[in-house]
Amino acid sequence: MNDSPSLYQQSYQAWRKNPEAWWAEAAGGISWERRWDKVFDPAPGPFGAWFPGARLNTCYNCLDRHVEAGRGAQPALIWDSAMAGRIEVFSYAALRDRTARLAGALRRLGIGPGDRVVIYLPMVPEAVVAMLAVARLGAIHSVVFGGFAAAELAARIADAKPRVVISASCGLEPGRIVAYKPILDAALALSPHRPETCLILQRPMLRADLMAGRDEDFLEAEAAALPVDPVPVAATDPLYILYTSGTTGRPKGIVRDNGGHAVALCRSMGMIYGVGAGDVFWTASDVGWVVGHSYIVYAPLLAGCTSVMYEGKPVGTPDAGAFGRVIAAHGVKVLFTAPTALRAIKQQDPEAELLLGHDLARFEALFLAGERCDPPTAEWAAEKLRRPVVDHWWQTETGWAITAGFREFGLFPFKPGSGGRPAPGYDLQALDETGQVQPRGQSGSLAIRLPLPPGAAPTLWHNEEGYREAYLRDFPGWYRTGDAGLIDEDGDVWVMGRTDDIINVAGHRLSTGAMEEVLASHPDVAECAVIGAKDTLKGQVPLGLAVLKAGVNRPEAEICRELVAMVRARIGPVAAFHEARIVPRLPKTRSGKILRAAIRRLADGEPANPPPTIEDPAALDEVARALGPRI
């Protein structure tokens, strides 16, 4: 590192020295109806409160203020649907007008500040319009990912107790149409809470039957409504609830406030991603996940960017060059996606010929998150794209990056496997089991010293005790991330997996993430997973599963022997890595996370209990067959 303080160090130290001044300056990027009484109030519990006394409207900040600034004709949202074969561009003025009318339709249905609206939609522009329309009224939206089945949707409706549900007739998947309305009807039959009204978006591929007295046509209701103005709310009022899986079986309703959320996300666009008003920013995710909330909808629009919303896959719609087509067609400056998308592209197009067959001249950087990117994939992307590849780490609970590379400050040296350095706002440390800070280079439980920065979840919906139990109990004064890792001598953070992915082999604590790095470096391996399987002698032993690249036709037994030898050579015999199996694919959630817990249960001879977000249940069956004698 340089002797003179870097721009990153200067900014981070300025935050450390005076957090309130740092965030007050960041808040200058937001329009307030009333300024705050103080930047931060520590009184309301361990999280405290950001910008108490302030009033604003998030939808106004996303749309109206840009129109008032003379940029109404600028594209705000580009909907590119490989599934429907359509591209639609919405200017800031057009998106504001649609949002204001839908807000009028919701007001007619009785929606006002504090009311909840559940949104169960596919990747269509109306999902963005619906989120912003709810925010425009000062109400609270809860988006449920379209891949959830009826029971999961019912659980979220029961917890949020919405007055209105917004859904669609169908979603689109490669080769099939997914009927949404029967899922919604089944969920409402299961839920003890019944909404007063359901607005249904009728897609031309499949129209749904509407229930008289409960269901209304989304587009007809929008067209008939009068537009409404934004309703200011307190900065500390909830903007949305986003449910994530809980260990008790009850979904955890992550609450996001209006003020801190707007400040942190708006600031992050320039600081982390190096984009601003007029730049085209593409997050290849789903609005049902936190990445979609933050970086398809809110952050790009708060910053005045053009946001790309893609309904399609990285491969198969139609091929592994799909991402290149979208980047070229819309002049994307920065792409944010998950490592699993890159691995899928790499498997189908190892030389990236299809991806690079498009004009990427305006493309500047690739950001990755969702799970740690294995170094071989990051190196492959950097080599083929010849652009910065930045892995960054964050969680549903934080809403934006805990660690990153920062384009505003100049990117750090490329370290494949590292998630970058803590963002201003995060005092991140690795703790041992007693809560003591570990020296640099020593692994531990990654934790953030309280208070968390603006934008992070202040609580769980109607479950303050659950928030304390899940995040604050283990290490008093700290937020427990649930991830294990270390901070190296340069300050770079290495997230090696969830704390339950640290396995104990005959008393030795070993990282499955480190073993996955080794397997992923094999030239024939496209992606992999390592889990800890029960062993009567050692307690646990590692077991590796690997998916091969397209076109590899060597004997699987030979490749498995090489994988075992590589782990033993690079990590050592202490790893007790003796088993590797080849599988056609790895079971994943719809957001791309590998279902390591389900694989572990299969290896231990237990029921897999796949979550409702599993992409393809048949992948678990394939793993079960590959495990063979173990189960």
pLDDT reported for residue 5 = 64
Q: Where residue 593 falls among pLDDT bands split at 50, 70, 90?
A: confident
In the predicted structure, residue 4 carries a pLDDT above the cut 60: no
In the predicted structure, residue 509 carries a pLDDT above the cut 90: no
Reduced to 3 states, what is the DSSP secondary structure of residue 496?
A: strand
Is the CA virtual torsion 106, 110, 111, 113 positive or negative? Answer: positive
Question: What angle do helix axes 375-385 and 512-520 make, rounded to 10 degrees?
Answer: 40
All structural domains of the chain with their residue ranges: 7-312+392-486, 506-630
Alpha helices, H only, 303-436: 322-330, 339-348, 375-385
State the amino acid at position 43 in one-letter form. Answer: A
Q: Where residue 1 falls among pLDDT bands split at 50, 70, 90?
A: very low
Q: Where residue 423 falls among pLDDT bands split at 50, 70, 90?
A: very high
Average pLDDT of 483-510?
81
Q: Where residue 9 falls among pLDDT bands split at 50, 70, 90?
A: very high
pTM reported for the whole predicted model: 0.86
| CATH superfamily of domain region 506-630 | ANL, C-terminal domain (3.30.300.30)
pLDDT reported for residue 514 = 80
d(CA 387, CA 336): 13
DSSP bridge partners of 142 = 118
Q: Which residues contact 303 (CB under 8 A, 6 or more apart)?
A: 29, 266, 269, 270, 275, 276, 277
Average pLDDT of 445-450?
97
d(CA 285, CA 307): 12
pLDDT reported for residue 248 = 47
Percent of residues, the chain, with pLDDT higher than 90: 81
Instruction: Give the DSSP letter of residue 359.
Output: -
In the predicted structure, residue 505 carries a pLDDT above the cut 80: no
d(CA 58, CA 231): 9
Average pLDDT of 309-323?
96
Q: Where residue 3 falls among pLDDT bands split at 50, 70, 90?
A: very low
Which CATH number applies to 7-312+392-486?
Answer: 3.40.50.12780
Reply yes or no: is the peptide bond before residue 75 cis, omega within 30 of 0: no
pLDDT digits (tens, 9 = 90+) for 64-90: 999 999 999 999 999 999 999 999 999
**Looking at beta carbons, which pairs linking 504-510 to residues 24 or more positions away fall under 8 Å?**
504/532, 504/539, 504/540, 505/532, 505/538, 505/539, 505/540, 505/541, 505/542, 505/574, 505/575, 505/576, 506/537, 506/538, 506/539, 506/576, 507/539, 508/574, 509/443, 510/542, 510/571, 510/574, 510/575
DSSP string, 525-570: EEEEEEEEEEETTTEEEEEEEEEEPTT--S-HHHHHHHHHHHHHHH
In the predicted structure, residue 600 carries a pLDDT above the cut 80: yes
pLDDT digits (tens, 9 = 90+) for 383-405: 999 999 999 999 999 999 999 99
d(CA 116, CA 166): 11
Q: Where residue 304 falls among pLDDT bands split at 50, 70, 90?
A: very high
pLDDT reported for residue 177 = 96
Average pLDDT of 577-604?
89
Average pLDDT of 89-99?
98
Average pLDDT of 116-137?
98
237 closest CA partner among 269, 264, 262: 262
Is there a contact between 267 and 400 (Cβ–Cβ < 8 Å)?
Answer: no
pLDDT reported for residue 100 = 98
Average pLDDT of 456-469?
94
pLDDT reported for residue 2 = 41
Reduced to 3 states, what is the DSSP secondary structure of residue 410?
A: coil
pLDDT reported for residue 508 = 63
**Looking at beta carbons, which pairs linking 85-93 to residues 24 or more positions away fall under 8 Å?**
87/329, 88/125, 90/125, 92/63, 92/66, 92/67, 93/67
DSSP bridge partners of 206 = 203
**What are the distances in angstroms from CA 307 to CA 88, 325, 334, 518?**
12, 16, 10, 36
In the predicted structure, residue 39 carries a pLDDT above the cut 50: yes
pLDDT reported for residue 535 = 82
In the predicted structure, residue 124 carries a pLDDT above the cut 70: yes
pLDDT digits (tens, 9 = 90+) for 515-533: 898 999 999 999 999 999 9
419 closest CA partner among 356, 481, 475: 481
